[in-house]
Structure 1
Amino acid sequence: MTHPKTGKALGEFGRIDRYFKPLASGFPGARGLADDAAVFGVPPDRELVVTTDAMVAGVHFFPDDSPGDIAAKLLRTNLSDLAAMGAAPYAYTLVTALPKSVGEDWLAGFAAGLGEDQARFGIALAGGDSVSTAGPITLSVTAFGLVPKGGAVPRWGGRPGDRVFVTGTVGDAALGLQIAFGKLEVADDSARAALLRRLRRPDPRTTLGPRLVGLATACLDVSDGLIADLGHLCEESGCAAAVESGRVPLSCAARAVIGTDPARFALALTGGDDYELLFTAPEDAAPALAGLSAETGVPVTAIGRLVDGPAGNVTATDPQGRALDLPTRGWDHF
């Protein structure tokens, strides 16, 4: 695509003008992307929560995924981190490192995907950078959220006796990834589509996360796998956890695909990319959490407890109370 006045290729600044300035129009601190940095303040009763996540083609998404799906996953994974801290979305910055072969059609779809999710989640672009690369598409978002002063929910606040809760359902994205790799055949078209949709477009719990301030003792989001991430929470909290696997919420699509296959069930517990909130709270918080679940429309399920034991140890049991032998805890980049 060429510049409407010069007839030349848009170039870096033309691309910014066309595709990214509109995304910053709703955030005054972005200053129209005309300056070297954004400028904004924080209300006196709030603190700023900052998170950064990167995605690389071939690692976090397939190179032939639609640019709209890529944009959605990039933004939503960061919003999930904010929700896990109890923060409401505020603004974000974006870095794109794109091969020269990436054309205007891809950029248009990517920007449109960002725009749709900005409107959905109440966030706007504050700035960023755009560079070329000889390597795969590499994208990074730094997201800013606001939380009541002193209210950010940590990973380290859990205590033995707290109940363990998870939002939504887990395992869909892991099963969807196996479908995308061609390693899992699913005859049911609706189940197949549902699992792939969960892989490509996670649903960050931005409505529930901020409401957990003052209720949850510890929280994170499920990115590496339910068992692995609960282990991370337990490591920071200095305790262990016991999970009743029969209580772990599965979607109808996941149940249809898993059936009675123990390997597929183990994958659901350890596969990752769910971006659901995994949190702990005292026993007496259960009624309040049930009310919040009903109010926000976000399912919340109790799946176990924190217990005394080696820090980071997580035991998953079957409905008969027998320990499951899981081949792995979850994903590790290295």
Structure 2
Amino acid sequence: MNIKGLAQAFFLALLCGAAAGTQAAAFPDRNVLMVVAGNPGGGLDLTGRALEQTMLETRLLPTGFVLKHMGGAGGNLAKTYVHQRSGDAYTLYVESNRVYVNKLVGTTTLDHHDLTPIARLITEYLVWVVRADSPFKSAKDILDKLKGDPGSVVFGVGTVPSNDQMNVLRPALAYGINPKQIKIVPFKSGGDLMIQMLGGHVPVISTGLSEAIEQVKAGRARVLVVSSPKPLEGDLARVPTWRSMGIGVEILHWRGLFAPPGVPAGTVKYWDQTLSKTVQTASWKKALDRHGWFNAYAGSAQFRKDLDLEIKIYAEILTQLGMARGAAKK
């Protein structure tokens, strides 16, 4: 090739590189589809809408979101839909730890390894709650009784398998109690669960703090322990955590974002940079306060590591209980 040809080839390469750079810098240049693995009004929907509102107020996202609710099959419908959109940078998916739990119990073949983890956004914490007049004064009282007879205390939870359930089984296991012998009764929802406890049908419930706080403030219920990594502030500052009791358990009832498999690395980087700024804004902090949520932000790399750790813990306990049907990926 002569000098003129080399110069033309070089110039063409520069143009292509510039075009590619312009295209990458333009993301996103249209609305992003946000697939919510739940129905309108639920926790996943509220998380998605809070993010949408914050992005709108702060203008950190130059375009917008289009929400698509797919609440069927315990989140599996949404997960399958997103998985089939492989490589689509304009799709996000809002989900909880069902993203891997459902595979463990055999209702799907997909887990977080079949998607692209983007960010953990928020969490609620779980609590043990009793009636105000309960003879149990502490979570240790209950654990000591279970140590003598694992079936002596009945726990109410929202559903199984769930974080509500794990907030009973994990501390019990760490305390040396056989989790198979613990009696756990699932109810339809957090509200129904509280009614059952206040009516004296179950002596203790494991539920989200937001489901219990109003009854606690009204003086009809007491919180014995919270699953947070450190003590909470305000009215619940004196409530012990599992860790403060010497039990190495903390449970985040989180909600996060995923993308389809095979999205460009630049897309993941964009969301890492944008979301890390979003969670620092006053608008987002107001949303946390409004919904009783706690900041649990983790970027894509840390989120992926945490998911891999969580699935190992769940797989071990569900296997002991005979509930594990699907194998966790290594």
TM-score, length basis structure 1 = 0.23
Greater percentage in helix: 2
TM-score, length basis structure 2 = 0.23
